[in-house]
């Protein structure tokens, strides 16, 4: 499995010939995002052009299966669950708080969880229980409508996940969010990688390790 980061909360997950786009950035957004064809596109925040860009990951020869809300899905051997949560990202434009979908994805024996544009600092116990057993957690850390760095780390460690990957930092969110998050995690010296290539066996012995994937845009 190969995971790359394309800014805001946009990730590409590739395993074999199958490509997933999580929260692709729309062509309507002022933020630049990657363009590629995907088999599946997961949308956490329907009203946000930073998260609803199925148009950016569609090609004439490849139209993705779009998942844009809570529920259970099985698509080509990929098992996906969506859970309702809240986001304040873009609240002024969207007329207040919006519904955000948290996704878990199970493939190649690994369970990933993408929190999207989450602003809830405390999730309902039922939701936490439902997404228990996550191997890789992607958490927004930028504040300004999503979780701020300290709250993001506090929430992330509750899941006792193997790896934690921050998103929503850099040219979006509050200044210095990544530095603050790494300090909270005690990993100020963490190196950034251009992409994360991972197999199930690589997760053995890891306990909440932070991996920073550099944005490709």
Confidence of residue 9 (pLDDT cuts 50, 70, 90): very high
CA 208 to chain centre: 16
Fold of 2-213: Metallo-beta-lactamase; Chain A (3.60.15)
pTM, 2 dp: 0.95
Tokens of 54: 């199925």
- Give the pLDDT mean for 61-67: 88
The pLDDT tens digits for 66-81 are 999 999 999 999 999 9
Calpha distance 99→105 (Å, rounded) = 19
Q: What strands, in cross-sheet order, belong to the sheet with 71-75?
A: 71-75, 78-87, 98-107, 110-114, 136-140, 163-167, 209-210
Beta bridge partners of 196: 3
Average pLDDT, whole number, for the chain?
93
pLDDT confidence of residue 189: 81
Question: Which sequence spans correspond to the domains of the chain?
Answer: 2-213
Q: Is the pLDDT of residue 96 over 80?
A: no
Q: Is the pLDDT of residue 62 over 80?
A: no
Tokens of 91: 């609240």
pLDDT confidence of residue 131: 87
Calpha distance 212→167 (Å, rounded) = 8
pLDDT confidence of residue 63: 86
Tokens of 62: 């490849």
Q: Where are the alpha helices (DSSP H) in the chain?
A: 91-94, 125-130, 149-158, 177-185
């Amino acid at each position: 499995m190969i995971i790359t980061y394309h800014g805001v909360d946009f990730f590409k997950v590739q395993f074999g010939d199958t490509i997933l786009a999580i929260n692709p950035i729309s062509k309507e957004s002022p933020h630049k995002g990657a363009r590629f064809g995907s088999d599946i596109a997961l949308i956490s925040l329907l009203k946000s052009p930073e998260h609803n860009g199925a148009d950016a990951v569609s090609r004439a020869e490849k139209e993705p299966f779009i998942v844009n809300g809570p529920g259970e899905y099985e698509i080509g051997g990929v098992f996906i669950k969506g859970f309702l949560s809240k986001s304040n990202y873009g609240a002024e434009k969207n007329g207040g708080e919006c519904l955000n979908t948290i996704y878990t994805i199970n493939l190649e024996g690994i369970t990933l969880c993408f929190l999207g544009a989450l602003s809830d600092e405390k999730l309902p116990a039922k939701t936490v229980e439902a997404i228990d057993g996550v191997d890789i957690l992607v958490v927004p850390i930028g504040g300004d409508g999503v979780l701020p760095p300290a709250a993001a780390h506090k929430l992330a460690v509750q899941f006792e996940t193997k790896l934690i990957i921050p998103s929503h930092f850099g040219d979006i969110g509050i200044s210095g969010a990544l530095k603050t998050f790494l300090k909270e995690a005690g990993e100020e010296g963490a190196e950034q990688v251009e992409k994360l290539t991972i197999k199930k066996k690589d997760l053995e012995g890891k306990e909440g390790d932070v991996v920073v994937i550099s944005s490709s845009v």
